[in-house]
Amino acid sequence: MATMTGHAKGRDENQGKDTTEKVKETGHQVMDKAREVGGQVMDKARETAGNVGDMASQAATTVGKKADDLTGGCGTGIKSLGEKLDDKGPHEGMLGQASHAVAETLKQGGKYIEDAKLSGMADDFTQVIRRNPIPAVFIGIGIGFLLGRAMRA
């Protein structure tokens, strides 16, 4: 077997160290590049998520506005129905008083719906529940019971 001389052995060790250093350096470069690309991907994901959130918010606002507009239109129709009932209904006697009372209630309810719209009615409903939490819970339980019975039948 051939034996290595001290000079050749030292040269092989230096080449091994150089190769190890190059591998380490390349590994560091790859890791740095991966961090950079990963950061870019995360930035793009954040930007996209922000855009999606903005689009969802705009869609919800548009749907809410359309629901308010439709509710306001329904209120106008109810108020108009009350006015027609008041004009064309009986005007004298007990039937006249009853039709006038119903017409006034329809006009007032229609005006409330027309003015408050869906968002205002939801706010009013929330306030009623906050002022009367215990009756609201009992009403909710009762409605749930009735719905359960209706769905079972």
| Any domain includes 15 | no
Could you tell me where the DSSP H helices lie in the chain?
6-88, 93-131, 133-152
Number of domains in the chain: 1
pLDDT tens digits along 109-129? 999 999 999 889 999 999 999
pLDDT tens digits along 72-106? 899 999 999 999 999 998 989 999 899 999 999 99
> Is the distance from CB of 107 to CB of 86 less than 8 angstroms?
yes
The angle that helices 6-88 and 93-131 make with each other, rounded to 10 degrees, is: 160
| Any domain includes 38 | yes
| Any domain includes 16 | no
Q: What is the pTM of this model?
A: 0.56
Domain hosting 116: range is 22-152
